[in-house]
Chain A
Amino acid sequence: MSRKPRTCIEIEADLVAAATGDAEPGAVRRVEHHIDACAPCRGEFRRYREIDGVVGALRGAPAAAESVARAREGLESRLADLKSRLVSYRVFPSPLGHILIARSELGVSLVEYLGEHTDLGASRLSRVTGVDPQEDGAEIEALHRELLEYLRGDRTRLEWPLDLRLARSDFHRTVLQATAAIPYGAVTSYAGIATEIGKPAATRAVAQALRWNPLPIVVPCHRIIGTSGALTGYAGSQIGLKQRLLAVEGVRAMGTRHDARVARNTLYHYDRNDQHEYCLPTCGDIARRPIGPVTLLASRELAGSLGLVPCTACRPDLHPLTV
Chain B
Amino acid sequence: MTPAKQLLWTPSVAFWWRDVIRFLRQRNRIIGALATPLVFWLLVGTGFGPSFRNPAAVAAAGAAGSYLAYFFPGILVLIMLFTAIFSTISVIEDRREGFLQGALVAPLSPAAIPLGKFLGGTTLAVLQALLFCLLAPLAGLPIGLHQILLLMPALIVTGFAMTGLGFLVAWPMDSTQGFHAIMNIFLMPLWMMSGALFPMPVGTGWLHLVALLNPVSYGVEAIRSSFAPTISESLFSGYVTGVCVTALFAAVLFAVSVRLVAKRSRRG
Q: Decide if A and B are genuine partners.
A: no
